[in-house]
Amino acid sequence: MSDNLRHTILRFAIVFVMIALLFVVVFVRIIVIQTAQRDQWESLVDQRESNYKTIKAIRGNIFDCDGRLLASSVPQYSIHMDTRVEALHMNDGELFWSHVDSIAEGLSRIVGDQTKEEYRARMVRAYRSKVRKERNIRLSSKRISYTQLKEIKELPLIRRGVYKSGFYAEDLNLRVKPFNSLGSRAIGNIYAASGEARSGLELRYDSYLRGEDGMSVRQKIAGGWQNVPIREAENGCDVYTTFDANLMDICETALRKRLEHTRADWGCVILMDVQSGEIKAMSNLDRGDDEQYYEVANHAVIRMEPGSTFKTVSMMAALDDDKVEMEDTIRVYKDGWSYHGSKHTDAHPADTVYDIRQAMAVSSNIALAKIVTEGYDGSAKKFVKKLKNMGLCDSVDYTIPGAKQALINVPNDTVTISKMAYGYSVELSPLQMLMFYNGIANDGKMITPLMVKEIRKNGKLIEEFESSVVKSSMCSDATLEGIRECLHEVVWNDTLGTASVNPWGTRKAQSDLVAIAGKTGTAQILEKGYSNRRHRMSFVGYFPEENPQYTCICVIHGPQWPYDAGMDCGSVVRHIAEKTMAYAGEYVIKNGKLEIVVNK
């Protein structure tokens, strides 16, 4: 072997040995760090991380149309103690042991969720613990107010500051609604623990409301440690809604009273401005286990079979397609009418002949089924096509997350079209049905419901919203006039109108103070595909009839027997209409009653 080759092999061997030794050193070092020095390095990491602190952004407020707070963030605090603070362990823990009793007594008195002994035991257990993570504790699971925090900071030892006492507080923002349950489900909620938006407008406009968190770092300044912001928090924007707190109160009060009377499962009410599309009030109430009513679910945007309020949709389609004329008559039968083996009956059975106005006033299932099946030759496809042309199936932004579009499909069988005519086998939310009736009140112009008007930041306008047009003309002027005549008869035909008067002379939707036009609806509730003999009632209409300003819908689900859509839902809308017009300055309240018409 040549000398050059030997030298080359030697050099490679030396390099290999050095690399192998280096690898062994690195491997050993890793083992040492992962075992013997693990706690030391984790402590350094924690110390470094603790130097940085998130500065929470304040969530924006939600206001009503007059600038009244509907939702706001109120600062609250969680209280903690880091028993690892060096000062607490000097001189055999003299500082800790001489003050632990007074701190425990003060916390028990101010916070009030634990006894003095319980607070003391928690602090002593943390102080004596050998487990690093158990030595930094949250003293109480209860959130405290700013006033309580100020009082706690005056306790012995704690007033010396965090580096002597180990006591510190973390900011938490509590979301509050000054008007309590009013429109609570529409306004929405956030998760208390994380502060993340959960539902309603809180969720829809979360990107505006939540703002952007900042960051601070702990630095030593002038001999002491301070949190110095390195990025300021950017607080959230404010959302200005179309809701009116006073009208919301009127609507909830009227709904709650009727629900308590009927002992229904739930009910909802929506009030909409005819011209602007602004939703002025939305109330949803569910009966709880204690028989009281609470805002639990937003039924206003949940699809359901509408029942007889859909007859107005069917009649508008038939009139506009010249399938029927206002002076036509329809024969109905006391024992019902069969269509391809399916029997249709009326809630007010009679062997008689109705004209179009009377058929709508009495809400005849037979009449509407015959009009639609005969007019469209039993073709559901033709019927559904007309409904789509009227704008009812158009994609609309209903603002509330989770709200779905109307469900009106062409059925595969022959019978279903006869049931669709009076509101079965179709699904619309109360908000969608309200939008349709608002189009009738708005001279045939269907517009989207509007719940938010503006987004502002520090008073400066960021974004502005308006209703959009779904359908500039839902039908011909002649059809619209005929439909309005039908809705008038529902309320004002004392003989046939389902929302007029009951047999004992008690008025339903009729009012001496404001003229209301609208339609009742009653649908059997199907559970697991079967009727349980329970019903969902509704009334939707507009007022004043001569110059509509508001459209209103009331739905009551599962009332106890007896049930009457005109009496229960119609009377709710009547009370709302009277109070709303009084609030608008149309009437004067005298001796607690609406009595005097104001000439404006």
pLDDT tens-digit series, residues 206-230: 999 999 888 877 665 545 555 666 7
**Domain check: are 430 and 290 in the same one?**
yes
Does one domain contain both 293 and 379?
Answer: yes
How far lies 84's CA from each of 81, 171, 384, in Å? Answer: 9, 22, 73
The pLDDT of residue 296: 94
Q: How far apart are CA 21 and CA 10, in angstroms?
A: 16
> pLDDT at position 49, please?
46
SS in 3 state form for 294-350? ECCCCHHHCCECCHHHHHHHHHHHHHHCCCCCCCCEEEECCCCEEECCEEECCCCCC
User: Do residues 482 and 555 both lie within one domain?
Assistant: yes
Q: For residue 324, tell me if it sits in a domain.
A: yes
**Cβ-contact 228, 216 below 8 angstroms:** yes
Q: What is the pTM of this model?
A: 0.82
Question: Are 434 and 550 in the same domain?
Answer: yes
Same domain, residue pair 372 and 520:
yes
Beta-sheet strand order (sheet of 224-231): 52-55, 214-221, 224-231
Contact (CB, 8 A) for 474 and 480: yes
Same domain? 284 vs 135: no
Query: Does the residue 297 lie in any domain?
Result: yes
Are 235 and 211 spatial neighbours (Cβ–Cβ below 8 Å)? yes
Identify the pLDDT of residue 218.
Answer: 64
Q: Are residues 395 and 500 located together in one domain of the fold? A: yes
Cβ–Cβ under 8 Å, residues 150 and 169:
no
Residue 560, CB-side half-sphere exposure with 13 Å CA sphere: 7
Tokens of 191: 């998760």
Q: Are 185 and 200 in contact (CB under 8 A)?
A: yes
| Sign of the dihedral defined by the CA atoms of residues 178, 184, 187, 190, in that order | positive
- My answer on whether 136 and 262 are in the same domain is no
Give the angle 231-233-234 at the CA atoms, nearest 5°. Answer: 120
Residue 10: inside a domain: no
Does any domain span residue 223?
no
Which helix (H) or strand (E) is 581 found in, with range?
helix 571-583
Which residues make Cβ contacts (< 8 Å) with residue 220, sequence separation at least 6?
226
| Number of structural domains the chain divides into | 2
Residues 120, 67: one domain? yes
Q: Which residues of 37-49 are buried (b: 16+ CB within 10 A; e: fewer)?
A: eeeeeeeeeeeee
Chain center to CA of 27: 58
| 112 falls within a domain | yes
Instruction: Quote the CA–CA distance of 121 and 115 in Å, as a whole number.
Output: 10
Beta bridge partners, 55, equal 214
Considering the domain architecture, whether residues 264 and 201 belong to the same structural domain is answered as: no
Structural domain range at position 459: 245-597
Among the listed residues 345, 267, 140, the one whose alpha carbon sits nearest the alpha carbon of residue 576: 267
pLDDT at 375: 96
Residues (pLDDT < 50) of the chain are 49, 222, 598-600
Largest CA distance in the chain: 127
Q: Are residues 319 and 441 in the same domain?
A: yes
What distance in Å separates the CA atoms of residue 78 and residue 169, rounded to the nearest whole number? 6
Nearest to 102 by CA among 155, 164, 153, 167: 155
Q: Which of 364, 592, 396, 357 is nearest to 487 (CA)?
A: 357
CA atoms within 13 A on the CB side of 234: 8
Give the CATH number, domain containing residue 107. 3.90.1310.10
Say if 220 falls within a structural domain.
no
Q: 3-class secondary structure for 265-302?
A: CEEEEEEEECCCCEEEEEEEEEECCCCCEECCCCHHHC
Instruction: Round to whole Å and give the CA distance between 390 and 429.
Output: 17
Give a yes or no: residue 230 inside a domain: no
Tell me, yes or no, whether 26 lies in a domain: no
Q: Give the pair of three-digit tokens for residue 199.
A: 């539902």
Q: Residue 502: how many CA atoms within 13 Å on its side-chain side?
A: 13
Whether residue 468 sits in one domain with residue 352: yes
